[in-house]
Amino acid sequence: MTDATSNQSLSHNYVILSDLHLSEGVDPDAHQYFRNEDFLFDQEFSNFVDYLLRSPHELPWHLIFNGDLFDFLQVTTTQDAPAEFLDPKNVKYGLDCGEQESVFKLRCIFRGHPVFFAALARFCEFFPVTLVSGNHDIELFYPAVRKEFLCLLQKASGSSSMAAFRNVHFEDWLFYRRDLLLILHGHMFDPLNCFMFPLEPRLPVNNTIPAAQQDHIDLPWGSIFVRYFFNRLEEEYPFSDNIRPTTHFPKWLIRKRPLLALRFLLRDGRELIAKLRTVSRSLPPLAYSSRGQSHDERLQELSARLSEEAGCDTDLISLKLRQTAALGEVSVLRKPYGRMGWFLRFARLGYPAALLLLLASLFISAIVLAVSPLIFLLAAGVLLWMLTHRKAEVTPADRCRAAATKIQKIWRVRFVAMGHSHYADAQLLNSGAFYFNTGTWTRLFEYPPVSILPEENELVFLKIMCERGAPSAQLLKWIDGDGPRPVKLFQPTRKTYA
């Protein structure tokens, strides 16, 4: 890593947040939160913005939202939606994820979060803001959604001019400042939430996809579960999608609310299994070829822009981007493996066959228990041993932390920042650089509890100050009424990251 830091890097002080997950917010008529809402900190964010505006500094601020600022999939209302979108499935599960559908959802988010948008508009009047896309707000890919976001900021400000919002920028993949900083959300390292291409998230071109949906988002496994599973469950149990690790939620549901789990299986399981069966089907070899070409074109455009901003060779930046893309995981929908792979194969049987297999398993278990309790207990013991002695799960937090080292070697920056996992993290890498994860601005619940201080993952931000030519970074937690303080972190377990 070079000792010098480019002039471009030293032009601002950076404040980085991630994973706010704004959805429908507060019903303006009932003055109550919608049950799918995860972001309850509008006033706290407004106070945070005022703190930044009042803080003395030598350099201007640059506020960066590192993915999942919005949660488009958790906007399920269809009231006042255009009639052409209101087919039975969309009425039940919320609108699909096309460009105009996402514009409608963004308006719903704005209506439910007036305090947040007003605060962000105040900040934009003085300082630049960048939105890096995550897996829950990948819809920012669409030009119409970006345009609508700027219009909503203008509306929130009460201004008649768009001039104040020319400093709002969008990044589909990553944010880079030469020698200093690389920011990316981190979902590309999660096989449950990654997309086929970092810069092209739309569905493959396929004759089996209706023409009206050809440009819709190609939802990964995790997003499908949000739309067909979590959104429905949150009608009875809000924050169910905030349980971490996410893969443990089905276990929690079966153990704590077995009747609710059974009711979901019988009521909504058909749609979930049908959707998984559809999206995991085998595709023609060239189905993604046109999307791959679009990704390559956008990558070249990004390379040219980053190289111009950083003052370095375009081919070198292009190589770094391709090396970074190669670090990404393959979606579990395209390469089934592990427990989720078995569930996917189970879903491919179709709902009737899967339900019949489940009932047959329960029936056979009951017969074995009645005929020979000893054999039943022996089989149950073997199954329990297998479950308790399986290989330790690799969580998104582990994957992001491990990827940070490889990313730093590619880009040679002082700081690497990610989000996605909802777990705050700060690690000194062997290269002498630092990795940070900015946690979340939602509530976090764990099953089983694993964090010593789980509340330390909430309302977290990374502040990078470039005062007097010596960059320094702090991972901080916002305490409303008191201001920021350092996040309390414990050393990781025996895992090492070379």
**Short-list 221, 220, 135, CA closest to 172:** 135
Higher pLDDT, residue 250 or 110: 110
On the question of pLDDT at 252 being above 90, the answer is no
> In which band, very low, low, confident or very high, does the pLDDT at 57 lie, cut at 50, 70 and 90?
confident
- For 135-270, where are the E strands, in sequence order? 168-171, 174-177, 181-184, 243-244
| pLDDT tens digit sequence for 450-462 | 666 788 999 999 9
Place of tokens 């990654």: 194
CB 80: neighbour CB atoms within 10 A?
9
Which residues lie closer than 8 Å to 163 by C-beta, 6 or more apart? Answer: none
| Structure tokens that stand for 402 in this block | 């491990």
Query: Where exactly are the structural domains of the chain?
Result: 9-339+393-486, 360-388
| Structure tokens that stand for 31 in this block | 């003055």
Question: 122: burial class by Cβ within 10 Å (0-12, 13-18, 19+)?
Answer: middle
| pLDDT tens digit sequence for 345-372 | 555 555 565 566 666 766 676 676 666 6
Give me the half-sphere count of Cα atoms (radius 13 Å) on the Cβ side of residue 134: 32
On the question of pLDDT at 97 being above 70, the answer is yes
Strands across the sheet with 483-486, in order?
168-171, 129-132, 61-66, 13-17, 460-465, 472-479, 483-486
CB 47: neighbour CB atoms within 10 A?
15
Output the pLDDT for position 385.
57
Q: What is the widest separation between alpha-carbon atoms in the chain?
A: 80
Quote the CA–CA distance of 100 and 139 in Å, as a whole number: 10
Q: Can you state the angle between helices 114-124 and 143-157, rounded to 10 degrees? A: 90
Quote the CA–CA distance of 45 and 26 in Å, as a whole number: 15
Output the pLDDT for position 423.
93
The C-alpha R_g of the chain, in whole angstroms, comes to 23
- Compute the mean pLDDT over every residue in the chain, rounded to the nearest whole number: 85
Which residues lie closer than 8 Å to 463 by C-beta, 6 or more apart? Answer: 13, 14, 15, 16, 473, 474, 476, 484
Distances from the Cα of 335 to the Cα of 229, 278, 281, 399, angstroms: 22, 15, 11, 17
Which residues lie closer than 8 Å to 120 by C-beta, 6 or more apart? Answer: 49, 129, 153, 156
pTM (2 d.p.): 0.87
| pLDDT tens digit sequence for 169-201 | 999 999 999 999 999 999 999 998 999 999 999
Quote the CA–CA distance of 260 and 266 in Å, as a whole number: 10
**Pairing relationship of beta strands 243-244 and 174-177 according to DSSP bridges:** unpaired
Lowest mean pLDDT among 151-155, 273-277, 292-296: 273-277
| pLDDT tens digit sequence for 284-312 | 768 889 999 999 999 999 999 999 999 99
Higher pLDDT, residue 470 or 436: 436
**Short-list 230, 223, 224, CA closest to 35:** 230
| Angle ∠(447,451,457) on CA atoms, nearest 5 | 100
Give bridge partners of residue 51 from the DSSP assignment. Answer: none
C-alpha dihedral, 447 to 451 to 454 to 457, nearest 10°: -110
Output the pLDDT for position 88.
87
> In which band, very low, low, confident or very high, does the pLDDT at 498 lie, cut at 50, 70 and 90?
very low
Amino acid symbol at 27: D
Output the pLDDT for position 496.
45
On the question of pLDDT at 267 being above 70, the answer is yes
How long is the chain? 498
Q: Buried (b) or exposed (e) across 227-247, using 16+ Cβ within 10 A?
A: bbbbbbbbeebbbbbbbbbbb
